[in-house]
């Protein structure tokens, strides 16, 4: 293998991968009679599996995790402790969800009536497709209508907010503390640096890379690398950043030029007077 990093990771995966030991159904776990738990799946202490839930084969659900009504978790998925999955949400195969993450919390939907906010019922769900990994304390809101969808192979870091009716395309990577506002559609193979913020109802093309702490207020229609707030193509953003860093020098040079112009003007006026 020509890439030493990949070779090193292969060794770790083969010989040192953690096993996450959990077997059987703990006596303190609650499984509703109408729920089903597949072969070789394990439930830790104080796990709650509500009515109508379907748990596939070889699933591990660690301590204090709660699944509300009609949640589906497919084969070989791994849910760590203190995960909350609200009603009707669907989790694909080989999904990993880390501690403290909430799937299917209500979307941030309100309308103003008589000077007060009135809650709009959020009656959709969340669909997490196969081979997705969600870090700790991620929040994925349920759709107002339809589904909030995280598509196959996507990886999401800790402390990320995904709002209602968002769609994140296949094999996208989202770094910590990013926020994606409602109904925005993110393409395939995108990469977002830390603390990127996206406004609502945008469309982001496939293979878009966005630098850390960027603010995205408009749709991005072409693949490429972008940075800044407002967002710009990265070469333009760096050119502008270079000018901003040199503003003090520019101001000094402009002042010197103004003084020279004033001096020359005074000399010309004096010569004209003669």
CATH number at residue 173: 2.160.10.10
Do residues 249 and 195 share a domain?
A: no
7 within some domain: no
Same domain, 28 and 101: yes
Note whether residue 2 is domain-resident: no
- Active-site residue (options: 63, 98, 164, 201): 164
Name residue, tokens 């991005």: 220
Question: Are 188 and 248 contained in the same domain?
Answer: no
267: tokens are 């000399």
d(CA 76, CA 253): 65
Beta strands 125-128; 90-91: pairing state: parallel
Residues 146 and 258 occupy one common structural domain: no
- In-domain check, residue 4: no
> How much is the pLDDT for 133?
98
Q: What's residue 4's pLDDT?
A: 84
Give pLDDT, residue 75: 98
Query: Is residue 164 annotated as part of the catalytic site, yes or no?
Result: yes
Do 141 and 257 fall into the same domain?
Answer: no
- The pair of structure tokens assigned to 154 is 């996507």
Q: Is 158 in the same domain as 246?
A: no
The model carries a pTM of 0.89
| pLDDT higher than 70, residue 26 | yes
Is residue 24 within 8 A of residue 40, CB to CB? The reply is: no
Q: What domain count does the chain have?
A: 2
CB 37 within 8 A of CB 61: no
Buried b (16+ CB within 10 A) or exposed e, 17-39: eeeeebeebeeebebeeebebee
When the pLDDT of each residue in the chain is averaged and rounded to a whole number, the result is: 95
Mean pLDDT of 87-100: 98
- Same domain assignment for residues 92 and 196: yes
Show the CA angle centred on residue 226, arms to residues 214 and 196, nearest 5°.
25
Residue 6 binned pLDDT confidence (cut-offs 50, 70, 90):
confident
For residues 2 and 34, which has the higher predicted lDDT (pLDDT)?
34
pLDDT in tens, 184-212: 999 999 999 999 999 999 999 999 999 99
Question: Is 186 domain-assigned?
Answer: yes
Cis peptide leading into 101, omega within 30 of 0? no
Q: Are residues 263 and 130 in the same domain?
A: no
Q: Could you list the residue range(s) of the whole structural domain that residue 163 is in?
A: 16-234
Q: Residue 1: pLDDT band by 50, 70, 90 thresholds?
A: low
Q: What is the DSSP string of 17-56?
A: -------SB-TT-EE-TT-EE-TT-EE-TT-EE-TT-EE-
Across 19-23, 124-128, 204-208, least confident range: 19-23
Q: Is residue 131 located within the same domain as residue 172?
A: yes
pLDDT in tens, 109-118: 999 999 999 9
The residue behind tokens 């589904």 is 147
Do 40 and 65 belong to one domain? yes
Banded pLDDT at 3 (limits 50, 70, 90): confident
């Amino acid at each position: 293998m020509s890439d030493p990093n990949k070779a090193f990771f292969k060794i770790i995966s083969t010989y040192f991968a953690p096993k996450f030991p959990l077997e059987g159904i703990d006596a303190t776990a609650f499984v509703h009679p109408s729920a089903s738990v597949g072969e070789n799946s394990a439930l830790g202490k104080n796990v709650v599996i509500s009515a109508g839930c379907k748990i596939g084969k070889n699933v591990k659900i660690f301590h204090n995790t709660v699944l509300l009504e009609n949640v589906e978790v497919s084969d070989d998925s791994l849910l760590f402790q203190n995960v909350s999955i609200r009603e009707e949400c669907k989790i694909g195969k080989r999904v990993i969800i880390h501690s403290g993450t909430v799937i299917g919390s209500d979307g941030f939907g309100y309308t103003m009536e008589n000077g007060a906010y009135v809650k709009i019922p959020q009656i959709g769900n969340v669909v997490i497709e196969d081979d997705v990994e969600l870090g700790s304390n991620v929040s994925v809101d349920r759709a107002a209508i339809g589904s909030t969808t995280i598509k196959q192979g996507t990886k999401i870091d800790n402390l990320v907010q995904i709002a209602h009716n968002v769609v994140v395309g296949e094999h996208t990577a989202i770094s910590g503390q990013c926020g994606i506002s409602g109904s925005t559609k993110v393409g395939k193979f995108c990469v977002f640096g830390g603390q990127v913020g996206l406004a609502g109802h945008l469309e982001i093309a496939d293979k878009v890379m966005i630098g850390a702490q960027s603010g995205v207020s408009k749709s991005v229609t072409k693949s490429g690398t972008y940075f800044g707030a407002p967002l710009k193509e990265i070469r333009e953003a760096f050119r502008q950043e270079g000018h901003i860093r040199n503003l003090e020098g520019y101001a000094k040079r402009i002042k010197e030029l103004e003084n020279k112009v004033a001096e020359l003007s005074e000399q010309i006026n004096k010569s004209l007077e003669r």
